[in-house]
Amino acid sequence: MALFDILKYVRDKILIQILIAIIFCIFSYPHISDNTISHFYSISLFLRAILAFVLPFLIISAISTAFARIPKGGFGFAIFVLCAICISNFLNMMISYGFGSMIMSGNATKIDIAHNVVRKIEPSFLFSFPQFELFGLMFDMNPSIISNGLALVVGLVTGISCSLFQLKKIESVANKMNKIMMFFMSKIFVRFLPLFIAGFLLKLFAEGELFSLIKSQLFNSISMIGLLIAYLGVWFLVASWFNFTRLKEIFKNIAPAMLTAFSTMSSAAALPLSLEAAEKNTKDKVLANSIIPISMNLHMLGDTICIPIMALIIISGFGAHTPTFFEFATFGLFFVLNKFAGAGIPGGTIMVSLPILQKTLGFTPEMIGLITAIYIVFDPVATTGNVTANGLFVIFIQKILKFFKKDKNDTKTQEMNDEEIPT
């Protein structure tokens, strides 16, 4: 019975499954034949092809559904909140890029994996979707019928149109598509994540210098966590306006949500506690209920701090081209917009970001497999950062709204006083 309980627990904990897969790869790769590793690698490439095909439909349905749910009367407020989230995510990414570039240059040990190959592993087979003709036009489904960039535009236009013009039928189709995509990602694809990661890791371990990469980049990985903690510390100070009694109160209210996020790797699991903390910290239940559900899957401080540094670590380790500020800003812009299509599952953020990493930063399949594995291992830390920042974000929104309300009232009072001045 105890063994059955352990197996059931492992079945329900994707992080444990992935850690088991990583440990398996570390200890088994010297004893596995190249042919077997090629099969594992081919399966990983096959799963990546399926993910690339599905992602545009997930992006369209998720973004259109999110924007369609914005009530017409509250559209201005919702757009304000969404813009604030996007600006925060983008700034966080660029700060992380600056910090990451600094520590990488200060700790410039580079292991060019591509040129230190011990065993060359090639895929045993390559999967490709069929082409088809419709109305005289040829459609290539590799990797998908439409690009992720076009999917973003289509989702935004559809969602905003549904909200403004009450296009119920289109909204219903988008909702059904979103449910199908979310079911596929959260119930089906997530089960294959350990296998998806294992194929890439076995190839990297077999080919050479991955252990040297991990050893050489240990300081940078620790620095990434240090940056996240320090950055959240600044947010706490600003939210409390440098009042340490107020800071202690805010932290005490948010702490239960932080612990839940760390143990479950899920912002959704921490949502009830996040709502309770936001209500206590703002004394405004309506505002808390308006902001927290929106920011839960969109405002990702932990992800936007950790992913840039992970990307730079891997780029350095593979001896690839280090992105310029403009190149990384392009990646950051697409990443921020793509957050509207977050799958809400362990590793969901990195999975919807893989095509962007490939297109804007030149990630290879091996680099994609590696960053997926690293991200999921650090997911508890990143999710804790996300939930903590969202509890502080609602305080910042309240301060901004109060500022504009005060400014508006002051202007109105001044106008009334001017009217009372006799001419």
Is residue 363 within 8 A of residue 237, CB to CB? The reply is no
Instruction: Report how far residue 328's alpha carbon sits from residue 311's, in angstroms, rounded to the nearest whole number.
Output: 10
State pLDDT tens for residues 76-89.
777 788 888 889 99
- Between CA 186 and CA 368 the distance in angstroms is 20
pLDDT confidence of 106, banded at 50, 70, 90? Answer: low
Name the more confident of 405 and 375. 375
Contact 302, 389 (CB under 8 A): yes
Asked if residue 423 has pLDDT above 50, the reply is: no
- Give which of 205, 180, 148, 231 is closest to 22, Cα–Cα: 205
Helix axes 2-12, 14-28, angle to 10 degrees: 100
How far is residue 363's CA from residue 367's CA, in Å, rounded to a whole number? 6
By CB atoms closer than 10 A (0-12, 13-18, 19+), residue 296 is: buried
Residue-wise pLDDT for 229-256, tens only, equals: 999 999 999 999 999 999 999 999 999 9
Query: CA 144 to CA 60: how far, in whole Å?
Result: 13
Q: Number of structural domains, the chain?
A: 1
pLDDT reported for residue 328: 93
| DSSP codes, 153-167 | HHHHHHHHHHHHHT-
138, β-bridge pairs:
133
Indicate the range of 20-24, 399-403, 416-420 predicted with least confidence: 416-420
Under 8 Å between Cβ of 319 and 117: no
Nearest to 381 by CA among 253, 284, 262, 240: 262
Give a yes or no: residue 423 inside a domain.
no
Predicted local confidence at residue 92, as pLDDT: 94
Determine what percent of the chain is predicted with pLDDT higher than 90.
19
pLDDT value at position 18? Answer: 74
Does residue 266 surpass a pLDDT of 50? Answer: yes
**Looking at residue 203, what is its pLDDT?**
83
Average pLDDT value for residue range 168-185: 86
Model pLDDT for residues 366-383, shown as the tens digit of each residue: 788 888 878 877 888 888
pLDDT value at residue 228 = 93
| Contact by Cβ (8 Å): 344, 186 | yes
Which of 29-33, 114-118, 178-182 shows the lowest mean pLDDT across its residues? 114-118
Q: Using an 8 Å Cβ cutoff, are 15 and 376 in contact?
A: yes
CATH of the domain at 306: 1.10.3860
pLDDT at 135: 46
Q: What is the 3-state secondary structure (H, E, C) of 75-130?
A: HHHHHHHHHHHHHHHHHHHHHHHHHHHHHHHHCCCCCCHHHCCCCCCCCCCCCCCC
User: Would residue 8 count as lying in a domain?
Assistant: yes
Using the predicted structure, report yes or no on whether residue 137 has a pLDDT greater than 50: no
Residue 265 DSSP label: -
214 has a pLDDT exceeding 90: no
Looking at the domain assignment, is residue 416 inside a domain?
no
Q: Is residue 418 part of a domain?
A: no
Mean pLDDT of the chain: 79
The answer to whether residue 141 is domain-embedded is yes
Over residues 293-323, the pLDDT tens digits come to 778 777 889 999 999 999 998 888 787 788 9
For residue 109, pLDDT over 60 is answered with no
Residue 417 belongs to a domain: no
- Residue 415 is assigned to a structural domain of this protein: no
In a domain, 422, yes or no: no
Residue ranges making up the domain that contains 172: 2-406
